[in-house]
């Protein structure tokens, strides 16, 4: 081979490992925007105790700042599958960041708690659009041989933002003299900057097509998810005798509406027009991964909302210390993302998810059995780091294995189902943990967190953690059966035949 031929081959190899400038610009802007919206989502966990004290609300009401956010995302995410096929990249980006910016402004200037919740809901709508936009765009512009590397970077962003959020919030609350509005005023210029950059720099990289939106599916999913999580959240209000109706009524209605939604999808699947194609659950690995995702997200959201209450009102720690306690585990989870992804390619999911599930279970049982009003902050930090180390070995392998078990036709439906059920499970986790926390606090004679005795706060947190400990046993059990799919576990034949029938 001549020297010139060798040089050309090397140049071609280098170019093959690089994104073109247009694709690189889109990816950088999307990563930056997703980092901002995810950072905003997790700063709220540390600020909730301060908001409870400032606005004179209960813990059960305060948890709606996270539950409402997660619930909104669960309602909106399924719709984005249709939206991303109807609109191009740039207008979807502008829509998402406009909603997020408007919600941030509403929250920053909210005069009462109800307006603050509205601001969070508007923020969540923008965030819900941004998440699928990121994944869909990456699958469109990134060559297959580079997907693993890029997904590792995305995993870092998804993990580092939640890791840094509580710490940044703690220091900002200290800097603003416990004025929680400062969190939103700091986030506002960042959101505006992302919006302006999107208007100027984001190109259109996707292809659009006209597809119908099944209105009954939208209504059933929105009402089903919202009433179900409202019912779960009302369990805490019922403990305070503040619930308007029995929590079991909206829970039953939500389950019924979601059952109708499922049957609706079965009917639509016959002509390949499902709003969310449930044929994804024919893949054994996908189904197992969904269960693990849901249980792990339930655990994480419950922990994130309960731990700051325990640290601030049982151990009497300032907000900046709370952020530092929660920082190491989150950082470890983010930084391990690319490494865990490479290990998955070599050894598959089981050597990763089984130790990860065991670490999660050990950590949550330690919280339930070892922590009390006299616990060391260092002990709390050590257990919290172990918990998030377990999450680091769970999430990347489960996401990769779940979608890897599906044919390409079902990728978008699988991603939407994972994202939706993650948010619903997270909302349910926050609701259940706070409900148990509130029930225990009410049994001790207190309903307002800042006025409760530190020992009562510690006991209430331990009850919530104990429930999580039993859930963690299910995580370990399911992890034993996850494997790496060699080929898609769902045949394309049924999808092809359905499409042909629809065409005829």
Residue 13 within any structural domain of the chain: no
Residue pair 76/55 in contact by the 8 Å Cβ criterion: no
- Smallest CA-to-CA distance from 48 within 61, 38, 31, 36 is with 61
Each residue's pLDDT tens digit in the chain (504 positions)?
A: 444 443 333 333 334 556 777 778 888 888 888 888 878 777 776 788 788 887 888 776 777 787 778 778 778 887 877 777 777 878 888 999 999 999 999 988 888 888 999 999 999 899 888 877 877 777 667 765 565 566 667 777 776 776 677 777 777 777 776 678 888 888 899 999 989 988 888 777 666 667 677 889 889 988 887 788 777 766 655 555 555 567 788 889 989 999 999 999 888 888 777 777 888 888 888 899 889 988 988 888 888 778 888 888 888 888 778 878 877 887 888 788 778 877 877 788 889 999 999 999 999 999 999 888 888 899 999 999 999 899 888 888 887 778 777 776 677 677 778 777 877 787 778 778 888 888 888 777 766 677 778 888 888 889 989 989 999 999 999 999 888 776 566 665 445 444 443 333
Angle between helices 147-175 and 113-141 (to 10 degrees): 160
CATH number for the domain harbouring residue 363: 1.20.1250.20
316 sits in the region (left: phi over 0; alpha: psi -120 to 50; else beta) called left
**What is the maximal distance between C-alpha atoms in the chain?**
86
Tokens matching residue 244: 């308007």
Angle at 27 between CA 23 and CA 30, to 5 degrees: 140
Beta-carbon contacts of residue 263 (< 8 Å; ≥ 6 apart): none
HSE on the CB side for 424, CA within 13 Å? 27
Other CB atoms within a 10 A radius of the CB of residue 118 amount to 16
Contact (CB, 8 A) for 410 and 490: yes
Residue 350 lies in a domain: yes
Phi and psi at 214, nearest 5°, equal -80, 100
Contact 378, 479 (CB under 8 A): no
Q: What secondary structure letter does DSSP report for 213?
A: -
9 within some domain = no
| Residue span of the structural domain in which 494 resides | 22-201+213-503
CA–CA distance, 74 with 221 (Å, rounded to integer): 9
C-alpha–C-alpha distance, residues 305 and 482, integer Å: 29
Domain assignment present for residue 416? The answer is yes
Q: Is the dihedral of CA 339, 340, 342, 343 positive or negative?
A: positive
Q: What's the whole-model pTM score? A: 0.75
- Residue 198 CA to residue 130 CA, distance in Å, equals 12
Q: How many domains does the chain have?
A: 1
Angle between helices 377-404 and 284-313 (to 10 degrees): 160
Asked if 441 contacts 449 with a C-beta cutoff of 8 angstroms, the reply is: yes
Q: Rounded distance, CA 62 to CA 237, Å?
A: 11
- Give alpha helix (H) positions in 314-376: 319-347, 350-370
Give pLDDT, residue 359: 95
Q: In whole angstroms, what is the distance from residue 200 CA to residue 210 CA?
A: 26
Q: Is residue 10 a part of any domain in this protein?
A: no
In angstroms, the CA 321 to CA 167 distance is: 8
> Angle CA(77)–CA(83)–CA(84) in degrees, nearest 5?
95
Distance CA 337, CA 315 (A): 32
Helix axes 377-404, 350-370, angle to 10 degrees: 150
Q: How far apart are CA 386 and CA 367, in angstroms?
A: 11
Residue 99 lies in a domain: yes
Establish if 461 belongs to a structural domain.
yes
Is position 208 within any domain?
A: no
């Amino acid at each position: 081979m001549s020297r010139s031929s060798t040089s050309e081959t090397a140049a071609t190899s280098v170019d093959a490992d690089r994104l073109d400038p247009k694709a690189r610009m889109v990816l950088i802007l999307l990563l930056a925007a997703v980092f901002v919206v995810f950072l905003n989502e997790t700063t709220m966990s540390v600020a909730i105790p301060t908001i409870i004290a400032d606005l004179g609300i209960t813990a059960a009401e305060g948890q709606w700042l996270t539950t409402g956010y997660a619930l909104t995302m669960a309602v909106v995410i399924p719709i984005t599958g249709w939206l991303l096929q109807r609109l191009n990249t740039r207008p979807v980006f502008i829509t998402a960041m406009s909603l997020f910016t408007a919600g941030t402004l509403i929250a920053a200037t909210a005069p009462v708690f109800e307006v603050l919740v509205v601001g969070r809901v508007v923020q969540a709508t923008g965030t819900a659009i941004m998440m699928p936009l990121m994944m869909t765009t990456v699958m469109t512009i990134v060559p297959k041989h580079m997907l693993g590397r890029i997904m590792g970077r995305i995993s870092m962003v998804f993990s580092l933002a939640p890791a840094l959020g509580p710490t940044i919030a703690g220091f900002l609350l200290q800097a603003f003299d416990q004025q929680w509005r400062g969190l939103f005023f700091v986030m506002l210029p960042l959101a505006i900057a992302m919006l302006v950059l999107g208007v100027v720099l984001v190109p259109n990289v996707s292809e659009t097509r006209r597809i119908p939106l099944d209105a009954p599916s939208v209504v059933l999913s929105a009402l089903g998810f919202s009433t179900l999580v409202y019912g779960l959240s009302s369990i805490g209000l019922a403990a305070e005798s503040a619930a308007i109706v029995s929590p079991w009524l909206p829970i039953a209605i939500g389950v019924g509406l979601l059952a109708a939604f499922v049957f609706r999808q079965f009917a639509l699947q016959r002509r390949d027009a499902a709003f969310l194609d449930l044929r994804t659950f024919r893949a054994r690995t996908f189904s197992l991964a969904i269960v693990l995702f849901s249980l792990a997200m339930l655990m994480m959201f419950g922990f994130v909302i309960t731990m700051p209450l325990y640290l601030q009102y049982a151990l009497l720690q300032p907000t900046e210390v709370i952020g530092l306690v929660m920082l190491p585990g989150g950082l470890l989870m983010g930084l391990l993302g690319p490494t865990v992804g490479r290990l998955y390619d070599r050894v598959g999911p089981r050597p990763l998810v089984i130790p990860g599930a065991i670490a999660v279970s050990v950590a949550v049982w330690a919280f339930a059995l070892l922590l009390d009003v006299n616990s060391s902050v260092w002990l709390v930090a050590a257990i919290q780091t172990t918990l998030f180390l377990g999450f680091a070995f769970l999430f990347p392998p489960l996401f990769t294995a779940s979608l890897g078990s599906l044919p390409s036709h079902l990728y978008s439906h699988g991603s939407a189902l994972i994202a939706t059920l993650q948010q619903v499970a997270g909302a349910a986790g926050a609701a259940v943990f706070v409900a148990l926390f509130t029930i225990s606090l009410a049994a001790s004679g207190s309903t307002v967190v800042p006025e409760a005795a530190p020992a009562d706060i510690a006991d209430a947190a331990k009850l919530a953690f104990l429930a999580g400990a039993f859930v963690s046993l299910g995580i370990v059990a399911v992890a034993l059966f996850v494997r790496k799919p060699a080929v898609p576990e769902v045949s394309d034949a049924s999808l092809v035949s359905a499409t042909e029938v629809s065409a005829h």
